Structure formats: C-alpha cells, structure tokens
Amino acid sequence: MKARTLKRIPLNIAALLVFAVSIFPVYWMILTAFKPAKDIQSSTPKFLPSSISFHNFDTAVNTPNFWDYWRNSLLVAGCGVLLALVVACFAAFAVARMHWKGRAPFILMVFIAQMAPWEALMIPMYLIARDNDLLDSLPMLTAIYFVMTLPFSIVTLRGFLGGIPVELEEAARVDGCSRFTAFRKVVFPLLAPGLLSTSLFGFITAWNEFAFANALLLNKPEQRTLPTWLNSFSNGLTIDWGAIMAASTLFMLPVLAIFLVLQGKVTGGLTSGAVKG
Amino acid sequence: MSASKADAVVATPTQPPRKQAPSGARRASKPPRKPSGIVKTVTPYLLVAPAILGIAFLLFYPVVRNVMLSFQHYRFKQLISRSADYVGWENYQAVFKDDEFWEVTRRTFYFTAVNVVAIMVISTLCALMLMKLGKAMRIVVLIGLVAAWATPVIAATTIFKWLFRSDNGVVNWALVKLGFDYEGYTWFAHGTSTLTVVTLLIVWQSIPFATLTLYAGLTTVSTDVYESARLDGAGPVRIFRSITFPILRPIFALVTSLEVIWIFKSFAQIWAIAGENGPINDVRTLPVYAYQQGMSLKLFDMAGAISTITVLILVVMLVFYFRQMFKQEREADK
C-alpha cells in the first residue's frame, strides 16, 4: 500500500502542474482585475491579493460605449443563435424522422459546412456586405453567426432527436394528433434540454467570434462587439491593465456561467458534435 | 464516446420503413389525419429549405465570390465602381512569383506542425494521466482544463499580452527568478518570440478539447483488458503500444486532423496578438496574409487568390478528415 502511495507522488505532481498551468492565466486575469493599481505596477508580482479593489471594474464599466458593446454582442449572438435553432430544428426533424431523396447529400453538406474555412472568407464577405450596403451593420454579422452555428445545431439536434423514440410520436398521432401537434406536445418537451445545450454552445461561438466582427464593423466604434472592443482596448497607447483584465473577466463571465450550467454535457455534447463533424 | 450511437447517418442511408399501426387496434374515435401524397413528399424539402438557403447564401456564395475575385482585377478603384474585369490566371501568376507568399506558406505549415505535435503529445499524456489519477485529483485537473477551455479567444489573447509584458509581466519576472536573462525582454518586438507566445496560447487553449476527447475514448476501454494484460506480465510501454494505442488510433487520427485544420486556418489569435503594434509581417500565416492584402493594401484580387489557395489546401485536409470520420463510423456500425 505504502509503495503504491509513493508511486503515485510523481503522478500527482504532474497533475498539479497541469492544473496550475491550465488555470494560471485565468487566475491571473481575475487577480489583476481585483488588484489596486500599485500592486499591478509593482515590479515583483503579488500572487495573492493584499487588498481587493473594485476600481478596475469601475474604470472598465465607465469606458465610452461600454454598454453598447454588451448590447451589440448580446443582440448579435442571441439573434443569430435563435435563428439557427429554429432553422436547425426543422432540418433536424426532416433528417431524423423522414425519408426523402437527397437526405444523405444534405447531411454531407451540413458536415462540410461545419468545417467551413471561415477565416479564408473574410474578404469576399466584406465585399458582399459592401455591395449590399451592410457594412458596419449588426444584421450582417447576425446572419453570419446564424450560418456559423447552424451546421453544428443541425448535427446535435439530430442526435438528440434520434434519442427520442419515434413510438412516442406515433402513439400521439394514433390518438389523433397532427404531426405538428405531436411534435409540439410530445417531442418538444423531451427535446428541450437538447435545444438548451445546443443553443448555449452556439451562443459561445458567436459571443467569442472576433475575425468577422473585426473585419465588418471597422468604422463605427459604437457598433463594435465586445471581442473587437476588448482587442482595441488592449492595443491602446496608454494601457490600463487593471481595467482590461476587469473587462476580460466580465466578458468571460457569461461563458463560464454556460459551462457551469452544462457541466457534464460539456465533454459529451461538444465532443460528439465536434468530432462527428 | 457516445457519438457513434447517435450518428450513424451516412453509413445507414435509409431508416427501415415506419410500420403503420395495425388498423384494428386503434382506440381513438378519430383516425389519424393522413397527409396526402404531395404534402408528404414536399414537407421534408420545405423543412430543410431555410437551412439550405442560409448555407447557400452565406457560405457557398462567399466561396464562389472568392474564386471569382481571384480571376478578376479588383482593387480600390473597382471597389468604388463595383465592376471588375476578368484577367484569367494573372493574380495566381503574381502570387506564385511572390517570394513573400512562399515564405508565408512555409511558415503556415511549420507553425501548424509545431502546434499540432505539441498539442497531441501533451494531450495524450494528459489523457493517460487522467486515467491513472484518483477521483479527487482528476476533478482538480478537469477544473483546470475547463477553465482554459472556457476562456474566450480574445480574453485569452488579452491575458497573454499581459502575462508577457516586457516591464512588469509575470513571465519575465519568473524567468529572471529562474536565472534566465529576460529582464525587460520585449516578446512582441520580434517575429520568433511573438510566434512563440501565439503557439503557447494556441496549445494552452487546444489541450482541453484534445485531452477530454482522447480521455473519453480511453474510458470506453474496459479495465479487464488492462488487468489481463498486466497479469500476463505486460509492462506499461507494452500495454500502451499493444492495447491503448490501437484502440485510440481512430479517435487519435480524428483529433489530429481536426487540430491540423483548425490551426492551419487560425486567424484571431495571430491578428489579435500581433495585429496593430506587433511584428505582424514576421508572424503572418496564410489567412492573415490574405486578410492583410485585402483590407490593408486593397489588393482584393490578390487576397482572393491567396484565400482560394488556402481553401484548396484546407479541402485536401478535409478530405482526409472526412475519410477518417466515415471510416470510424463504419467501424462503429460493425
């Protein structure tokens, strides 16, 4: 027994090292956010808070347009994902419950769309937005986030639908429900957890998206979303690291909350979605 | 992996025909409303139409537009006049003649290779470690991994800029304490050191996904296999080579190809870390290079050619990825 405990020591040290390296940047962000200015500027870093100050949050919240960025981000991510959810729900139902010619090619298209090289499409997207006078506008970005999250939503919702026995729906229809009523009254309640986690993962994608927000919302500062603002904030000439870390902490908060809500599903749900294409 | 059971899509093209409820057994007074033939045929297409339209307009059209752009003469003047002439392969010829393009391409492949190797080695070790750990320690490690995973990309780039500050950054402080000469070292002044920071950032952010996926794959192996191998006198290396790796191989191949694709097209991290005041010209990869040509220099046609080449390279990688994916699905079906 003792030999075994001894053998475990290096393993546990390695585990603690992985933990420390993984969490340190996040810890450092939160710690800096709560540090008074003199602690941030001191040449020997302080690893434990000596005193907690909310001054940095105060500065961050009072930067010009701060609430606009929040509203923009929430609007763009929220609307995009909601739209994707509705459209994906229809498509997933058709794929999981009906047979029709072209089903296999459709699924293949969804898989391909899921791996789309978005990062290489910024210039054509910029030109398309420009041709339609949609530059610096949130609807264009919303539409992009809708298509970005759509394939993933279809794939995961189809998985969730596959887990709901068809017999339940058939029983409802035998009892005289129309196909739509059967879906609404029987399938939908069972699908709700799936819809929730799918939309939350989509929300994270849209909430974090930087490249398109950066390319399409260049000219009007009040139209920016949080990621682009945060980036320009940290590239300024006089950099207030306390305020930036406070802003980053606030920006990360919704994502962290979502991860906590989804806990167990984080590994199962996301990996099956991502690895499965 | 719970994945296999849910998604046997492409391997199983059709579901068995749904059985009609035996008519005599119906207890409802109303018979179920049966849609007419046309409604039944059209419904699925109506249901998928919005999805197809969305993907067509906002994904396939931009891809096509990108290819068109690469064959046009499209600069600032054409952006204003909104009309452009086709010039054939001129842009591609110009791109291929450009030494810068080859340098960027080489850097992109090199950068991808370094990142993917680092991610896969560390993640495999972490996944194996998770298997061996006690419950409490495993939860501790998982909390760390999820914290790194949950950090938004731009929050992470901001944090890393702060960690690697030259004057009061904690990394320089730690390196000096360890006896290295990093007093006031300016990480973001040189290409190589900036790329090192970007690599550390990407590896740090990618490890949770890779580790947890590999770990999920490992947990599907029953412990009996390991028990009996150990009883037969197999050492840990032998067990890894003969049992763990063969079982893990399909999932390992999948994660590797996913990471290759993801890292090859990474943009946000590089642009956010080196974009405005950093040495972007010494760290840019293909997507960044294309973006720069278009947005900064207004050479939209060149950007189109470079992006199209990038997409083509990605398509080759994707084909490999899809082959892996379908192979695994077929195996899961057996």
Over residues B98-115, mean pLDDT:
96
Q: How many CB pairs under 8 A join A and B?
A: 317
Q: How far apart, in whole angstroms, are the C-alpha atoms of residue A94 and residue B9? A: 13
Residue A2, pLDDT score? 61
SS3 B334: coil
Q: Are residues A11 and A128 in the same domain?
A: no
Q: With respect to residue A2, please indicate whether it lies within any of the assigned structural domains.
A: yes
pLDDT digits 0-9 by tens, B230-273 = 888 888 888 888 888 888 888 899 899 999 999 999 999 999 99
Q: With respect to residue A183, please indicate whether it lies within any of the assigned structural domains.
A: yes
Q: Are residues A92 and A2 in the same domain?
A: no
Closest CA to B255 of B131, B81, B91, B122: B122
Q: With respect to residue A277, please indicate whether it lies within any of the assigned structural domains.
A: no
pLDDT digits 0-9 by tens, B17-51 = 444 444 444 444 455 555 667 888 899 999 999 99
pLDDT digits 0-9 by tens, A187-205 = 888 888 889 989 998 999 9
pLDDT tier at B15, thresholds 50, 70, 90? very low
Q: Are residues A122 and A257 in the same domain?
A: yes
Residue with tokens 């109303």: B30
What sign does the CA torsion over B3, B4, B5, B10 have?
positive
Q: Are residues A188 and A99 in the same domain?
A: yes
Cβ-based contacts of A215 with chain B (< 8 Å): 291, 295
Q: How far apart, in whole angstroms, are the C-alpha atoms of residue B314 and residue B2? A: 28
Over residues A121-140, mean pLDDT:
91
Contact A123 B44 (CB under 8 A): no
Q: Are residues A5 and A111 in the same domain?
A: no
Among A9, A18, A177, the residue to mutate for chain B (most B Cβ within 10 A): A18
The residue from A18, A33, A52 where one domain ends is A52
Q: Are residues A28 and A122 in the same domain?
A: no
- For chain A, give the mean pLDDT: 87
| Amino acid letter, A41 | Q
Residue B271, pLDDT score? 93
Q: With respect to residue A273, please indicate whether it lies within any of the assigned structural domains.
A: no
- Asked which of A235-249, A258-272, B195-209, B251-265 is least confident by mean pLDDT, the reply is A258-272
Residue B183, pLDDT score? 86
Residue B30 vs residue B74, higher pLDDT: B74
Among A38, A119, A133, the residue to mutate for chain B (most B Cβ within 10 A): A119
Q: Are residues A30 and A81 in the same domain?
A: no
pLDDT digits 0-9 by tens, A241-263 = 999 999 999 999 999 888 888 77
Q: Are residues A116 and A226 in the same domain?
A: yes
Q: With respect to residue A205, please indicate whether it lies within any of the assigned structural domains.
A: yes
pLDDT tier at A43, thresholds 50, 70, 90? confident
Q: Are residues A75 and A41 in the same domain?
A: no
A205: domain CATH number is 1.10.3720.10
Contact A87 B54 (CB under 8 A): yes
pLDDT digits 0-9 by tens, B129-152 = 998 898 899 999 999 999 999 999
Q: With respect to residue A156, please indicate whether it lies within any of the assigned structural domains.
A: yes
Contact A25 B163 (CB under 8 A): yes
What contacts A183, CB < 8 A, 6 or more positions away?
A93, A169
The percentage of residues in chain B with a pLDDT greater than 90, rounded to a whole number, is 56
Q: Are residues A192 and A239 in the same domain?
A: yes
Q: With respect to residue A58, please indicate whether it lies within any of the assigned structural domains.
A: no
Which residue in chain A is spatially nearest to B57 when comparing CA positions? A147
SS3 B86: strand
Q: Are residues A83 and A23 in the same domain?
A: no
Q: Are residues A84 and A213 in the same domain?
A: yes
Q: With respect to residue A231, please indicate whether it lies within any of the assigned structural domains.
A: yes
Q: How far apart, in whole angstroms, are the C-alpha atoms of residue A182 and residue A173? A: 6
Range of the domain at A30: 1-52
Q: Please give the tally of structural domains in chain A.
A: 2
